């Protein structure tokens, strides 16, 4: 699993089983392997690439991903059934019928000599859906003891598990923006939100952020890096003369308020994603919401998405539904993905 935060590739070996008619899992092994600085930079600008550049990047990424998988498996000496791979999203514009994840091709299967299940988003977009978020199917089967799940990754997305079928949508940009601002201060990220906490609120900036039109759009809806570049950064760039600490502080407050509006009072909320380690952000979310927020183990925070994409692969192998129309807005529930032997 590789997300928009560009932290690296999350690798997980997961054992799935059914107990009392419910899916269960055991996280056996896990590791995050970082990208080189050069390749990380390539991924960060890939949404601007033309077709030939994307093809070249796809080939390079597949070799890098295969090397990571082979190295991970060789050290563990564990026999696996197959590899379920999300790839890395370089372009996501479902309104135009486009979603591109690199590393989703038969070459990966050949390089690791394993069955590969991948390309989970394309079919949903072809069926008129957003192609995202896909994690709710895993929330529905694996974390049903909660009312809602809230993932704080490159983007925040929420899953409502209180109905017969899950409903979910993207809410706002989180680490995609926070990490970029931190890099301008020569940090990869704002550890525990300490920099943001040290800043002060810029009221005019917060007002502009709070009034971004996307927040008023009804679900299903999803976000991509292109949206951040087009909508969020132009707002932030108006305040370049302000201290970065103040911009980080203001954006963090903005996130907490946008999220708190999505969290119903008295409901059990499971947090996950790298943003769960941002103490300042979590403090503000808890302060502004009236929900019962649960922060799980470090392993679940970091590897929940990897676990779920492995599970999505299991459902594909079993030819069972792994995309809900109630989540993505597709014409029908369906079983998405491609299997390469």
CA Rg value for the chain? 19
Q: Quick one: how far is CA 24 from the chain centroid?
A: 22
Residues 101 and 187 both lie in one domain: no
Residues 29 and 158 both lie in one domain: no
Residue by residue, DSSP assigns 6-26 as ---EEEEEEEEEEETTEEEEE
Residues 143 and 275 both lie in one domain: yes
Residues 85 and 229 both lie in one domain: no
Residue 337 counted as domain residue:
no
Residue 191 counted as domain residue:
yes
Among residues 298, 282, 312, which one has the least CA distance to residue 1?
312
Three-state SS for 99? strand
Q: What is the CATH number of the domain that holds 169?
A: 3.30.420.40
Residue 310 counted as domain residue:
no
The domain boundary residue, chosen from 83, 99, 131: 131
Residue 249 counted as domain residue:
yes
Residue 197 counted as domain residue:
yes
The domain boundary residue, chosen from 131, 153, 172: 131
Question: How many domains does the chain divide into?
Answer: 2
Residues 127 and 141 both lie in one domain: no
Range of the domain at 166: 136-299
Residue 339 counted as domain residue:
no
Residues 55 and 154 both lie in one domain: no
Residues 291 and 249 both lie in one domain: yes
Q: Tell me the two tokens of residue 305.
A: 């998405």
Residue 210 counted as domain residue:
yes
The domain boundary residue, chosen from 101, 131, 161: 131
Residues 144 and 280 both lie in one domain: yes
What is the pTM assigned to this prediction? 0.92
Residues 124 and 156 both lie in one domain: no
Tens digit of each residue's pLDDT (9 = 90 or more) over 5-39:
787 999 999 999 999 999 999 999 999 999 999 99
Residue 280 counted as domain residue:
yes
Residues 225 and 240 both lie in one domain: yes
Q: How far apart are CA 322 and CA 198, in angstroms?
A: 43
Residues 235 and 206 both lie in one domain: yes
Which pairs from 93-101 meet CB under 8 Å and 24+ separation?
93/224, 93/226, 94/125, 94/129, 94/130, 94/131, 94/132, 94/222, 97/125, 97/126, 98/125, 99/125, 99/131, 99/132, 100/54
Residues 231 and 163 both lie in one domain: yes
- Provide the residue-wise pLDDT of the chain in tens; the chain has 341 residues: 888 778 799 999 999 999 999 999 999 999 999 999 999 999 999 999 999 999 999 999 999 999 999 999 999 989 999 999 999 999 999 999 999 999 988 999 999 999 999 999 999 999 999 999 999 999 999 999 999 999 999 999 999 999 999 999 999 999 999 999 999 999 999 999 999 999 999 999 999 999 999 999 999 999 999 999 999 999 999 999 999 999 999 999 999 999 999 999 999 999 999 999 999 999 999 999 999 999 999 999 999 999 999 999 999 999 999 999 999 999 999 999 999 99
């Amino acid at each position: 699993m590789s997300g928009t935060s560009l932290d690296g590739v999350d690798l997980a070996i997961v054992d799935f089983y059914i107990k009392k008619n419910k899916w269960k899992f055991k996280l056996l092994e896990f590791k995050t392997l970082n990208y080189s600085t050069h390749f990380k930079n390539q991924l960060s600008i890939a949404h601007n690439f033309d077709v030939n550049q994307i093809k070249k990047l796809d080939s390079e990424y597949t070799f890098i991903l295969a090397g990571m998988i082979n190295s991970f498996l060789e050290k563990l000496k564990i026999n696996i059934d197959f590899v379920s791979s999300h790839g890395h999203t370089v372009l996501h514009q479902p309104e135009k019928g486009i979603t591109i994840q690199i590393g989703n091709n038969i070459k990966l299967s050949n390089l690791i000599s394993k069955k590969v299940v991948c390309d989970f988003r394309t079919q949903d977009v072809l069926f008129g859906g957003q192609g995202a978020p896909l994690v709710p199917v895993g929330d529905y089967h694996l974390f049903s003891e909660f009312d809602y799940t809230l993932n704080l990754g490159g983007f925040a997305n929420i899953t409502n598990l209180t109905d017969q079928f899950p409903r979910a949508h993207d809410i706002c940009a989180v680490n995609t923006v926070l990490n970029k601002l931190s890099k301008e201060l020569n940090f990869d990220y704002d550890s525990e939100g300490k920099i943001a906490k040290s800043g002060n609120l810029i009221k005019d900036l917060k007002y502009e952020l709070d009034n971004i039109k996307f927040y008023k759009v009804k679900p299903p809806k999803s976000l991509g890096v292109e949206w951040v570049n087009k909508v969020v950064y132009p707002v932030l760039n108006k305040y370049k003369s302000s201290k970065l600490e103040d911009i980080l502080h203001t954006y963090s407050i903005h996130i907490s308020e946008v999220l708190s509006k999505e969290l119903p009072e008295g409901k059990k909320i499971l947090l996950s994603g790298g943003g769960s380690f941002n103490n300042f952000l979590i403090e503000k979310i808890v302060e502004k919401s009236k929900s019962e927020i649960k922060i799980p183990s470090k392993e679940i925070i970091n590897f929940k998405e990897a676990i779920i994409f492995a599970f999505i692969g299991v459902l594909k192998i079993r030819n069972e539904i792994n995309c809900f129309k109630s989540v993505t807005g597709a014409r029908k529930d369906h079983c998405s993905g491609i299997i390469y032997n």
